[in-house]
Amino acid sequence: MKLYYLIILFILLSITSVFVGVINVSPLDLFSLTEAQERVLIESRVPRVISIIIAGAAMSVCGLIMQQLTRNKFVSPTTAGTMDWARLGILISLIFFTNASPIVKMLVASTFALAGTFLFMKILDRIKHKGTIFIPLVGMMLGNVVGSITTFFALKYDLVQNMSSWLQGDFSLILRGRYELLYISIPLLLLAIVYANRFTVAGLGEDFSKNLGLKYKSVVQVGLVIVALMTSVVILTVGMIPFLGLIVPNIVSLYKGDNLKNSLAHTAFLGAVFVLFCDILGRIIIYPYELSIGVMVGVIGSAIFLYLLLRRKSSYA
């Protein structure tokens, strides 16, 4: 698939998303907007589209980096437990830093996400049988343990309702003034582009990377910091979006290969396109109500994930 096809689809879906909603605003109304329509566009629709684009691109790139560093196509922030650790960090910030700013909560969540991802990487180093399916299963088991701990303390401190908002992604509450934290992901995406070739070499293994003069551990640490920060920002702003970082990089690798420099732009745009499509579908499928992005991506993403599993299994048969 050519990149410009994705860009054209990205533009079309972005424009469509702006004009889909309960309050009727059509492209023709742009030349004679009422005060109510103008407020809807500025306060809700445009911030929502921007947050969808950034969140979709960020989580897809996170999955691509993790798959490259772990050399496993089924590792992502969802299957490695990174999201669960970030959610635990948010709970800790709610308990001990009640009046803290979103930046402080993001830093706490990022610290927990980074620590959890490092723990997952350390567990991988000690596992002798590194099967394609076995590694993400380990990550999911670790994530479930952390999720259970989070639920326990949320119940203890009566924060279950607060935590439920981060359990399932939702763009319906995105308004101007409540999504700007996502802009932190933009410089992190640029940093990922700068380190793209190094991540590709690091994905070949520690010994091979050192023979080429690459500081393997430093590159891995940079990659995990990028993943932890972007994951925390998205969860804190939008909530958990399952399977996104898993399926999008796998789809891109089918036609672009495993060179991260070549596939990074495709991954970012396809991630944004996929989330835009799921969000639009979620808004029209039971109109005038809407299904959350977590449900839509979870249903469609799980079907694609099963297809990828069966496809890989048949390729080994």
Strand ranges in the chain using DSSP code E only, listed in sequence order: none
**Which tens digit of pLDDT belongs to each residue from 232-261?**
899 888 888 888 888 999 999 888 887 888
d(CA 119, CA 228): 13
d(CA 279, CA 109): 26
CA-wise closest residue to 243 among 49, 3, 56, 68: 56
Helix (H, G, I), strand (E, B) or coil at 177: coil
d(CA 307, CA 134): 18
- Tens of pLDDT along 46-74? 999 999 999 999 999 999 999 998 888 88
- Tell me the three state secondary structure of residue 24: coil
Nearest CA to 112 out of 64, 70, 153 is that of 153
127 vs 143 pLDDT, higher one:
143
Q: What's the gap between Cα 88 and its chain centre?
A: 17
First to last CA, the chain: 28
* Backbone φ, ψ for residue 21 (5° rounding): 170, 175
User: Count of residues for the chain?
Assistant: 317
pLDDT above 90 covers what percent of the chain? 27
Contact, 310 vs 256, CB < 8 A?
no
Q: Which residue from 93, 73, 6, 127 is spatially nearest to 249, judged by alpha carbons?
A: 73
Distance CA 167, CA 162 (A): 10
What whole-number percentage of the chain has pLDDT above 70?
96
13-23 pLDDT, tens digit per residue, is: 999 998 888 88
Predicted structure pTM score: 0.89
d(CA 224, CA 206): 16
User: What pLDDT, on a 0 to 100 scale, did the predictor assign at position 316?
Assistant: 45
Angle at the Cα of 42 from the Cα atoms of 60 and 283, rounded to 5 degrees: 55
Q: Output the pLDDT for position 1.
A: 63
pLDDT, residue 317, reads 47
Q: How far apart are the C-alpha atoms of 301 and 248, rounded to whole Å? A: 9
Evaluate if residue 312 carries a pLDDT over 80. Answer: no
d(CA 201, CA 184): 26
The DSSP symbol for 41 reads I
DSSP of 42-92:
IIIIHHHHHHHHHHHHHHHHHHHHHHHHHT-TT--TTTTSHHHHHHHHHHH
Q: Give per-residue pLDDT as tens, 101-120.
A: 888 888 898 899 999 989 98
SS3 for 208? helix
Cβ atoms of residues 166 and 107 within 8 Å: no
- What is the CB neighbour count within 10 angstroms for residue 60? 31
**What residues contact residue 313 under an 8 Å CB cut-off, 6+ apart?**
none
pLDDT tens-place string over residues 145-159:
998 998 899 888 888
Q: Tell me: the pLDDT tens digits for 201-217?
A: 888 888 888 888 888 88
Which pLDDT score, from 0 to 100, does residue 176 have? 85
Domains of the chain listed by start with CATH number: 3-316 (1.10.3470.10)
Per residue in 271-291, pLDDT (tens digit) is 999 999 999 999 999 888 888
